[in-house]
Amino acid sequence: MSMMEPFPGAVAAPRVPPRLVALFACGSGLSVANVYYAQPLLGSLAADFAISPAAIGGVITATQAGSIVALLMLVPLGDRLDRRRLMLVQAVLLALALACVAMARQTALLLAGMLAVGLLGTAMTQGLIATAASAADASERGRVVGAAQGGVVIGLLLARVLAGLVADAAGWRWVYLLSAATMLALAALLWTALPAQARTRSGLSYGALLLSMLDLLRHERMLQIRGVIALLMFAAFSIFWSALVLPLSAAPFALSHSAIGAFGLVGVAGALAAGKAGNWADRGLGQRATGIALGLLVLAWLPLGLLHRSLWLLGLGIVLLDIGAQAIQVLNQSMIFRSRPDAHSRLVGCYMLFYAVGSGAGALAATAMYAAAGWTGVCVLGAAVSALAAVFWALSLRWTPP
C-alpha cells in the first residue's frame, strides 16, 4: 500500500464552527479531569477516612474500574440514543456523583462515588469525541477530533495541578463540589450549543448493540490494526510515566511530588501537536504522519535514557514522547471513524479497550523492569515496545484499507 492514502477530493466548507470545536475540546477536558482529580489527593483521603497507605490505591482502582465499565456498557449507547440527550443525562448524573464524593463520610460511599465518577466521566469524554466525529464532515474530521483529543490531554494534565491548588486552599472536598457545579454548567452549554445531527442511530436492542462490538473487533480491519498500534503506543507511554517517579524521588534528585508532577505539564506540547496530526489525516496523509509520529516515539527514548546526565534532556524526551503519542492517538481515531459512520460510539469504545490493556500492561512491566534493571532497563524496554509498534505499522500497510 502507498504511504499516502487517496486524497478525498475537494475540501468541503467546514461544518463545525470554531466555537463548537472549542466546546468539544473544553467539554472533553473538563469531563476527563474528574477521573484524575483523586491522584494528588490520596494523602488527604487516607487521613480523612482512616485508610492505610497500602489500601488507599483502591480509590484509583474504583475510578479505573468505572472507566472500563463505561467503555463496555455506556459509550456504545451513543449509537442507539440521541447523543445530546444522553450527554445531558450523563452530565447531570456526573454532577450528582461528584457531590456524593464531596459529602461522603464512610469509605464505602467514597468508593461507590469514585466508581460512578469514573463511569460517567469516561462516558462523557468518549461520547463527546464520538459526537465531534459525527458532527464533522469527512474532510475536517481529523481536525475536529484532534481538537477534542487535545482537550482530553490538557484536562488530564491540569487535573492534578488544579486539584492540588484547590485542596491546599479550601480542602479536598471543594475540588469535587466545584467540579459538580462545572458539570451542570457544561450540561447547559451542551444542550444549547450541540446541533441536531443526522439520524444514523442503530435500530439494535441494547444487548445486540453490545454484542455488535464483538463483530466490530472481529471484522473491522482498520480498528484491528490501529488498535494494536494504540496498545503498543500506550504501553510505551505508560512504561515511562509509571516509572518516572522512582528515579526522580530518589538520590541524587530527591524531587518532591509537586516537582515531579510539573514534568507532566510539558505534555501540553503533545496536545498542541494533536490538532496538526488531525489536519494531516484530513489531507490523506495519515499513514505518512503515523510513520513520523512512531519515529518520534522511538527517538524519544534516547534523551529519556540520559536522565541522570540532565533534567533538560528529560524534558526534551518528554516533548518528543508526548508529541508522538498524542499524534498517533488522533490519527488512529480519525482513521477508524471513517469506516463505519453509524458506529462511532461503539468504535471509540472498542478502540479505548486497546488503550486500557496497553496502559495496564505498561504500568506492570515498568515497575518490574525498574526493580530488575533500573532506569536504563526501563528505557530499553520502552524503546523496544515503541520499535515494535513501528515495525507492526510498516508490516500492516499492505493490509490496511485505503
Average pLDDT over residues 126-155: 88
Share of the chain above pLDDT 70, in %: 92
Return d(Cα 324, Cα 318) in angstroms, integer.
10
CB contact at 8 A, 32 and 84 = no
The position carrying cell 500492516 is 396
For residue range 124-136, list pLDDT tens digits in order: 999 999 999 888 8
Where are the alpha helices (H) located in 171-201, listed in sequence order?
Answer: 172-193
- The C-alpha atoms of residue 196 and residue 62 are separated, in whole angstroms, by 35
Q: How far is CA 309 from CA 138, 183, 253, in A?
A: 46, 44, 11
As a whole number, mean pLDDT of residues 298-325 equals 94
Summarize pLDDT for 189-235 with one digit per residue, the tens.
Answer: 999 998 766 555 667 888 999 999 999 999 999 999 999 999 999 99
Mean pLDDT of the chain: 87
The pLDDT of residue 47 is above 50: yes
pLDDT at 388: 98
Give 338-397 pLDDT, tens digit per residue: 878 788 899 999 999 998 888 888 888 888 899 999 999 999 999 999 999 999 999 999
More confident residue, 291 or 43: 291
- Return the SS3 of 333: helix
DSSP assignment letter at 263:
G
Per-residue pLDDT tens over the stretch 251-294 = 888 887 667 767 777 777 766 766 678 888 888 888 999 999 99
Q: How far is CA 116 from CA 24, 107, 218, in A?
A: 22, 14, 30
Q: What is the C-alpha to C-alpha distance for residues 266 and 77, in angstroms, rounded to an integer? A: 35
Q: What is the mean pLDDT of residues 7-20?
A: 63
> 97-122: buried (b, 16+ CB within 10 Å) or exposed (e) per residue?
bbbbbbebeebeebbbbbbbbbbbbb
In this predicted structure, what is the pLDDT of residue 267? 72
What confidence tens digit (pLDDT) does each residue in 63-88 have?
888 999 999 999 999 998 888 899 99
Examine the pLDDT at 29 and tell me if it is beyond 90: yes
Q: What percent of the chain has pLDDT over 90?
A: 52
The whole-angstrom separation of Cα 223 and Cα 226 is 5
Which distant-in-sequence residues (6+ apart) come within 8 Å of 76 by Cβ? Answer: 209, 210, 213, 345, 346, 349
Higher pLDDT, 215 or 139: 215
Q: Give the CB-side neighbour count of residue 398, counting CA atoms within 13 A.
A: 2
Task: Provide the 3-class DSSP secondary structure of residue 318.
Answer: helix
Map residue 360 onto helix, strand or coil: helix
Residue 402: count of CB within 10 angstroms of its CB: 9
Residue 180 cell numbers, joined: 459538580
Q: By 3-state DSSP, what share of the chain in percent is helix, strand and coil, each rounded to 5?
A: 80, 0, 20
Q: What contacts 89, CB < 8 A, 6 or more positions away? A: none
Cell numbers that stand for 333 in this block: 481515531
Measured CA to CA, the distance from residue 251 to residue 28 in angstroms comes to 38
Using 50, 70 and 90 to split pLDDT, how confident is the model at 39?
confident
CA dihedral 257, 261, 262, 264 (to 10 degrees): 160
Q: Any residues with CB less than 8 A from the CB of 202 and at least 6 apart, and which?
A: 79, 80, 209, 212, 342, 343
> In the structure grid, which three cell numbers stand for residue 33, read together?
479531569
**For residue 74, how many other CB atoms are within 10 A of its CB?**
21
d(CA 100, CA 310): 45
pLDDT of residue 311: 92
Nearest to 135 by CA among 78, 220, 198, 73: 198
Q: What angle do CA 173, 175, 179 make, to 5 degrees?
A: 120
Here the cell at position 342 is 453509524
In angstroms, what is the C-alpha Rg of the chain? 21
Euclidean distance between the first and the last CA atom of the chain, given in angstroms as a whole number: 8
Judged by DSSP in three states, 36 sits in helix
307 compared with 342, residue with greater pLDDT: 307
Instruction: Read off the pLDDT band of 324 (50, 70, 90).
Output: very high
